[in-house]
Amino acid sequence: MTDALPRLLAAVRAHVGDADPTLLADAAWLAASRAAATDAEEAPGPEVSGGPKPDRPATGPRTDAPGDPAPPPAARPAPVSVRRPDGTTPVRGVPLSVQRPAPLPEALALARALRPFRRPWPGGTRTRLDLDATIDHYARSGTLVPIFSRAPERWFEVILVVDTSVTMALWEDLAQALSRLMHGLGAFRAVHTWRLTWQDLEPRLHDHRGHTVPSHRAAQHSGSPRGRRLILVLTDCAAPGWRRDEPWHMLRAWGRSAPLALVDPLPRRLWHRSALDHPPCRAVGPYPAAPTAALRPADRASTGPLGGGQVLPTLTPTPHSLRAWAHTVMRADAEGCEAVVVPPGGRPRRQRDDVDAPSPAAMADAFVRTAPPAAVRLAVLASTLNSFTVPMLKVLRERALPETRLSDLAEVLSSGLLTVSRETGHEPVLGFTAAAQERLHRELTRRDARLVHQAMSAHLADHPHAPHGIQAVLHSPEAASRLPADLRPFAEAGTTALRMLGLHTTSRPTVGGPPPVPTAARAGADAPGEAPVTAGAPGQAPSGIPMPGQAPSAVPARDDPATGFPARRQSELVFAWSRTERRGFLRRLQDYFRGGRVTDGAPEPVGRSERDIALELAHGGLEHLVHQMLDPGPSWSRLWPDDPRQAGPYRLYARYLGGWSRVVMFLGLDTAGETVTVRVPLSTAPEVAESLIRTEAEALTRLAGAHAPRLLGHSVEDSPPWIAAECAHRREEGGPRPRPAPNLRLLLEERGALGEAALLRLGRDLAEALRHAHGAGLVHGSLAPHCVLLPDRGVQLVGWMTASVDGVPSRLRDAFRRDADFEAREAQENLGVTTASDVFAVGAILFTAATGQWAGRLHSGTPRDAWERAGLDGTLGDVLSGCLDPDPAVRPTAAELAEAFSGRPASRVRRERGPFPAQDASPWAPVPPERDRRWSPRREPFTLGGRVTDCHLYEGDGARAIPERNVLVHHLAEHVDLPAEVRRWRAEIEAEEARKAAAGEPHRWNSPRFALEGITVARTADQGEPVVHLKLRDADYYDFLAASLNLDRPRPGDGLTLRRLHLENRDPVHAPAFLSSSLGVIVAVETGADGKMLFARSSPHVAGYPRRWNASVSEGLSGAHDLPPDGSPISFHATARRALRKELGVTAEDRVELELLAFGLDLRLHQWAAFFRAVLPDLGEEDLRRRWARGVEDRWEHDSHAFVPADPDSVLDFILEQPDRAWAPCAPALFCLALVRGAVLRRGGDPAGRLDVEAAMRRARRRHGGAGPAE
C-alpha cells in the first residue's frame, strides 16, 4: 500500500499531462469523496455483527442469516402538497418552505427602463471639494485655499404607496420586488413603502414607520426636508373605495406638487372593469421633473369634454411602460407616456345600467373565449391543482409556459374564476370554482396533467428550501406532527431533494402521483346521460388513467386498426362534430358508443362502456379524437393551443407542420363533414392579410379548379381572416382511406429521383398547369417543389398569395420567404417576374426530380452540363436546357413546353439568343430610355437557411481578413452632385428638420458624410491578398435621407423612381455616387471572457431600419471625425474602433482583436459597409452591461441587446428564430462571416473551417423546418 499514492499520481499525470500537486490532490480527494458517497448509497445493509465483510461475494448472491436485520428499502419519492392554514384534514408530514420564483421576471429590463432617473439634481445644498479649482487658485495666488462647489445629488425620494385591499394581497410580492428594484438602482435618495388602507371606503395613508399621514400632505411630508418626491401608487383599483371621488381627489392633490404615477398590475384591456375607467390619453411634460399637474395630453382634444381634468400617468409593470414614463418625467420626451384624465369631480360621471352578475359557468366560458390564448393556457394547467398560491402559479408559468408574460398571470388572477381563502400571517390560497374547473377541464389533456406535475417537481428539486418561501407539506407517515394540508399533491420530492432537505423516507407514501386527469365528460344538468369518471381515494387518479411511471391501460380493440374506431361509423361522428357544439357532440358520441346511432335508425351496440368513453375523451379531448379518426398523415399535427378553432363555417382540426410562419394552413370540416384546406394569416397586419387573401382568391377564381384547388370561400372581415379551398387527396398503397395530397418536395425527400416515365408525366402536367395559369393572366413567381401537390390524378399548383395578376406584381412577394434554388436570375435580382420566370422554375423543379440533387447545383456550369451529368436523353435535355437558360428571351413559353412534353413538334423550343426585350424585363413598368442593353455582372444576394437577404457581398468570404494596409481610400474634396429632384427633396427635409428644431421637437441633425464614387479590387502578386481601392466624395446626412430613403418615390410627371432610373437592370456597384451617400462600418462583436456573440436591435429613432436586429455596432464614416487633420488616409479600422467606444464603451485600454472581413452592399437602401469582426478577450456580458449602466455616448442608437453563445449552431438558431423582416439586410451576412472567421482560426488558419459553419447551416435549416406545401 505504500506505493499506491505514487501509482495513482502517475496515472493521473498520464491523462492530464503536467499538473501541479494542488490539482492532483484536489482530484484525488474528489474521487475518494465520490467513491465513499457511492458506496454508502449502494450498500445493501449493515454488516452482520462479528463477521468480516468480504470485498465481493465468492459465488452467487449473498444469503443473510435468518436472524440478520432486513436491509432497509431505498428511498422513494414523497408527495408534496399545499399547506392550508384553514384545512380541516391534517396529515402527517414535514413542513417545507420552497423557494419562490422571481416576482419580476424582467427585473433587469425594468432597471434599465428607470435609468433616466439617474440624472442628478444640479442645484443641491451639498458641496464637495473642487480639486481643479483649488489647484488653479493655488497656481495663481500661491495660497492654498480649498474651494468648494455644489455637488450634484440624486433627484428624487420615492414613495411607493401600496394598496392593501383584499385583491391586492395577490400582488404583495410584486410590491416588495418593485421596492427592492428601486432600492438597488441607486438613482434615488431613498425609497419608502407606504400603505394605503380603507376605513368605511375612506382612504387612509400610513408611512414606512406605521404613522398615519394626512393624505393631502403626502407630497410635502415633514420627513422629506428637501422635497422633490416621486410618488408611485401600486393598485388594481378594484377596491370599492376607488369608485368614490375621495381617492381621486387625493391623487389630484399629490400631482399638484410632485410627479405621480399609478401602477396597475392588471393588463390595460381589463382596466375598464375596475375603477380605472377614465378617458385615456398620452401625457407629455413641459420640462424635466415637472409635477403631474403640469403634464398635458399630447392630443388636447381628449380633455375637451372634461374641462380642467388633470392628466395622471398610468403604468403597467413592464419595461416599455416604465421606460416611456421615465423619459417623459426626466427628459420631457415628446412621445410621452400612457395616462388617463382625472376630472375635477374625481370620477367620470357615467350612466351605469344595473345588470345581473353572470353565472360562474358563463364567466368561465367567457374567459376561455375572450382571454388571450396564453392566459387561457395558464388557467387550464392551473386547473389541475386543487389549490395553489400565487407563487405556485408563477412557478407553473416559469417552468411550463415560459412564453407567457406577467399580464397573462394577471388575466387569470382577475378573471373572477378563483376563490380566495386567507388566514392572518399566511399568504392567500386560491382555487378555481367548480364551474370554472369543469369548463377548463374541457381544454385539458393527459399531457397537460403530466406537464404540471413535472414542472412543479422540477422546481422543488432545484430549489427545495428557502426562507419565507412557498409553504408546503411533505407527506411522510413517519413524521411526528400532523399539519393542515391539501390532500392532493402538486409535486413529488425525489431522492436528491430529500437528501438536500436532510430527510429520508423508507415507506411508500400514502398519497402520491400527480393530480387526477379530469375528464371532459362530466355529469351535469345540461348534459343528461353523461357519465362521470369514478375517482379513487383523495389525491389518486381515477381508475384506468395511467400516472407517471405507469403503463397506460389497454384500450379494447375495435373494428378499424388504423384509427381504433369502426370505419363505417366515422363519417357519422365527424358530421356530428362539424355541425354541433362540443357538449352536443359529447351527447351524440356517448349515445353512439352506448349503442345509439347519430342518425336515425336501429341502435347497433359496439361494446363500449361509459367509463371507456370518459377515459378516451380525457386522454385527448375532442380535437384529438377527430384528428385520430381522420388521420391526415405525419405532415399534419393537432391544433396548437393558440390556433383558431373556427374559420368561417369550417371547424379546424389539424395544422400543417411546414409553410410560412405567418400564414398557417389548416385542415377543417365543412357542414357536410368534408375535409377542406383553410389558410389563415395569424401574424400579419390586417392590410397584409387582406392583400394576401384577395390575391389568392382572384387567382383560384380564374383557375376554376383546373390544375389548382377549387375556391370554396374567403373572408377578410372575419377574425381571423381566412380562405378555404378543396382538399386534394391521394390514396396511399394499403391505406384505409385517402389522405391530403403530399407536395413534391416531401415525395422527393422520401423516395429520391423519379424514373423517366414519372418524370415525363410530371413535366407534362406541370407544363399544362403553367399554360392554363398564364392564359388566365397569372404568373406564380415563386414556384418550387413544395408548391406542387400530387393528388391521385395530375398536379395542382398552390401558393398563389404573392402571384402577379394581369402583369401587376404583388407588393408582398419580397416579404414572404421564397426558395432561391428555383428562382430565375431576374427574380433573384428583383428585376420582375414574368412568365419566363415560371418556365425557369419548372425546369429547375424537373432537374431536381430527375437527379435527386437540389437545383442549387445549376449555379455551377451550364444547363447542358447539368442534364448530361443527370444522364437524360438528348431530346428532353434540349427542352429543359431551354427552360434553364439565363436569358429569359431564350426560354420556351409554357405552351411550347407543353407541346414538347406531349410529343407534338414544338414550333420553337429554344429561341435565338438576343438582348432582353423591355416587356420581358418588367411588364408593368416603363423602361428608362437610357437603359443599358448589356447584361450587368450578376450580384447575387446572400442566402441563409433558405432565406434570401437584400445584402450582396462584394469582396470577402470570412475565411481570411483584409489587412488594413490593403484598404486604400482616395478622397476627393468635392461635394457629390445631386439630380434636380433629389435637391428638391433635400431642401424639403432640411426645412422640415429646421422647423422641428425651432419647435423643440425631436429632429435629425445634419453632419458631413462621404459618398462612394467607385470601388475596385485587385490582388497582390505574391499571396493573392485583396487590395481594395475606394474613391470618396464629400456628402452629408441629408443627402442620404433625400436619396436612399426615397429610392421608390415617384418623380413628378413621368412617375419614374430613382431605383428604376439608376438601379434596375444595371450593376448596382456602378450606381451614381449620390445614391451611395451613406458609407460606414458594421461590427460583429464576440466577448472573449464568456464566448458570446452580441446582437443589437436599433432604436425607433434610427433612420433606415428602426426596430430591427442589426450588427453589434454600426457607424457611418463622418467628415467631422474620420477625416484626419494631418492629411493621412481615411481608416475604416479607426471608424470601427470609434464605434466600439461610442456604442459599447470599449476604451483604448481594452484589448480588441479587430479584423476587416468583407465589403458589402445593402441592395434595398443601396448602402455600402465594411464588415468587421471584433473579439474582446478580457470582457464578458456582465462587464459590458456594467459599463452601459454607467452610460455610453451613443446608447440611443439601440434599444436592446442579446448575448448568444458564439458557437455556429446557437448563432444561426438565433438568426433563424427571428422573422425575416426583423433583421437589417446585411446583419445575417455579417454574423455568418464572423462565424466563418472564428472557425478558420480554430483550425489554425485552415480555410476549410468554413465547412464547419456550412454544416451548422444545414443543421439549423433542418431544425427550423423546410418549406411548406404552399409558400
pLDDT band at 20 (very low <50, low <70, confident <90, very high): low
State the DSSP H helix or E strand holding residue 1031, giving kind and residue range, or none if neither.
strand 1026-1036
pLDDT band at 576 (very low <50, low <70, confident <90, very high): low
Residue 1075 contacts residue 1040 (beta carbons within 8 Å): no
Phi/psi region, residue 1143 (left: phi>0; alpha: psi -120 to 50; beta: rest), is alpha
Res 630 pLDDT > 90: no
pLDDT at 973: 82
Instruction: Give me the residue label for grid cell 402583369.
Output: 807
pLDDT at 1222: 84
Closest CA to 959 of 1028, 1016, 1021, 1026: 1026
pLDDT at 858: 52
Query: How many angstroms separate the CA atoms of 156 and 159, rounded?
Result: 9
Res 608 pLDDT > 50: no
* DSSP bridge partners of 1114: 1082
Q: Which of 96-105, 583-592, 808-817, 833-842 ranks highest by mean pLDDT?
A: 833-842
In the 3-class helix/strand/coil scheme, how is 572-594 assigned residue by residue?
A: HHHHHHHHCCHHHHHHHHHHHHC
Residue 791 makes CB contacts below 8 A (sequence gap 6+) with: 728, 729, 730, 741
Distance from CA of residue 376 to its chain's centroid?
19
pLDDT at 583: 44
Res 188 pLDDT > 70: yes
Query: How many angstroms separate the CA atoms of 238 and 415, rounded?
Result: 12
What CATH number is given for 108-119+155-342 in this structure? 3.40.50
Query: How many angstroms separate the CA atoms of 532 and 538, rounded?
Result: 16
Q: Identify the weakest region by mean pLDDT among 198-202, 1022-1026, 1156-1160.
A: 1022-1026
Q: In this structure, what C-alpha cell is assigned to residue 179?
A: 421596492
Residue 621 makes CB contacts below 8 A (sequence gap 6+) with: 442, 443, 444, 445, 520
End-to-end CA distance of the chain: 73
Average confidence score pLDDT of the chain: 75
Q: Identify the weakest region by mean pLDDT among 132-141, 507-516, 609-618, 1099-1108.
A: 507-516
Res 688 pLDDT > 50: yes
Residue 601 contacts residue 585 (beta carbons within 8 Å): no
pLDDT tens figures, 198-248: 888 888 888 888 888 887 666 664 444 445 789 999 998 888 888 888 888
Residue 276 contacts residue 301 (beta carbons within 8 Å): no
Q: Distances from the Cα of 1106 to the Cαs of 86, 594, 687, 1039, in angstroms?
A: 55, 62, 21, 19
Residue 1159 contacts residue 1171 (beta carbons within 8 Å): yes
Domain ranges for the chain, please list them. Answer: 4-34, 108-119+155-342, 121-152, 360-501, 570-621, 631-740, 742-925, 943-1263
State the DSSP H helix or E strand holding residue 1234, giving kind and residue range, or none if neither.
helix 1227-1242
Res 954 pLDDT > 80: yes
pLDDT at 933: 28
pLDDT band at 294 (very low <50, low <70, confident <90, very high): confident
Res 592 pLDDT > 50: no
**For residues 56-64, average pLDDT:** 39
Query: What beta strand segments (E) does 391-466 contain?
Result: 418-421, 429-432
Res 1160 pLDDT > 90: yes
pLDDT at 219: 62
Query: What beta strand segments (E) does 457-561 contain?
Result: 470-475, 482-484, 491-493
**For residues 869-881, average pLDDT:** 64
pLDDT at 600: 34
What CATH number is given for 943-1263 in this structure? 3.90.79.10
Q: Which ranges constitute the DSSP H helices of 852-956?
A: 863-870, 874-883, 894-901, 918-921
Q: Which ranges constitute the DSSP H helices of 471-604?
A: 495-501, 570-579, 582-593
Q: In this structure, what C-alpha cell is assigned to residue 1071?
A: 450606381
pLDDT band at 919 (very low <50, low <70, confident <90, very high): very low
Percent of the chain with pLDDT over 90: 11
Instruction: Give me the residue label for grid cell 406532527.
Output: 481
Query: How many angstroms separate the CA atoms of 436 and 362, rounded?
Result: 9
Task: Give one DSSP letter per residue of 213-275, joined into a string.
Answer: E-GGGGGG-TT-TT--EEEEEE--S-SGGGGSSHHHHHHHHHHTTS-EEEE-SS-GGGGGGSS
Query: How many angstroms separate the CA atoms of 289 and 728, rounded?
Result: 66
- CATH architecture under which domain 742-925 falls: Orthogonal Bundle (1.10)
pLDDT tens figures, 1046-1074: 888 887 766 778 887 888 767 788 888 88
pLDDT tens figures, 736-761: 568 888 888 888 877 777 777 788 88
Closest CA to 1238 of 1111, 1087, 1097, 1107: 1087
pLDDT at 1205: 92
pLDDT at 1157: 94
Residue 665 contacts residue 1268 (beta carbons within 8 Å): yes
pLDDT band at 300 (very low <50, low <70, confident <90, very high): low
Query: How many angstroms separate the CA atoms of 844 and 867, rounded?
Result: 11
Query: What beta strand segments (E) does 51-201 contain?
Result: 78-82, 90-98, 127-129, 148-150, 156-163, 188-199
Query: How many angstroms separate the CA atoms of 1068 and 1236, rounded?
Result: 26
Instruction: Give me the residue label for grid cell 479584423.
Output: 1155
Residue 847 contacts residue 858 (beta carbons within 8 Å): yes
Percent of the chain with pLDDT over 70: 73
> Collapsing DSSP states into helix, strand and coil, what is residue 1072?
coil
Radius of gyration of the chain (CA): 36
pLDDT at 1243: 86
Query: How many angstroms separate the CA atoms of 629 and 563, rounded?
Result: 5
Res 773 pLDDT > 60: yes
- CATH architecture under which domain 631-740 falls: 2-Layer Sandwich (3.30)
Q: Which of 285-289, 467-471, 1236-1240 ranks highest by mean pLDDT?
A: 1236-1240
pTM value?
A: 0.40
pLDDT tens figures, 1074-1120: 888 888 999 999 999 899 999 998 887 777 788 888 999 998 888 88
**For residues 167-181, average pLDDT:** 83
DSSP-derived pairing of the beta strands 1092-1098 and 1198-1205: antiparallel
**Which of the two residues, 730 and 594, has the higher pLDDT score?**
730
Query: How many angstroms separate the CA atoms of 629 and 675, rounded?
Result: 12
pLDDT tens figures, 390-434: 888 888 888 888 767 777 888 888 888 888 887 776 788 888 988
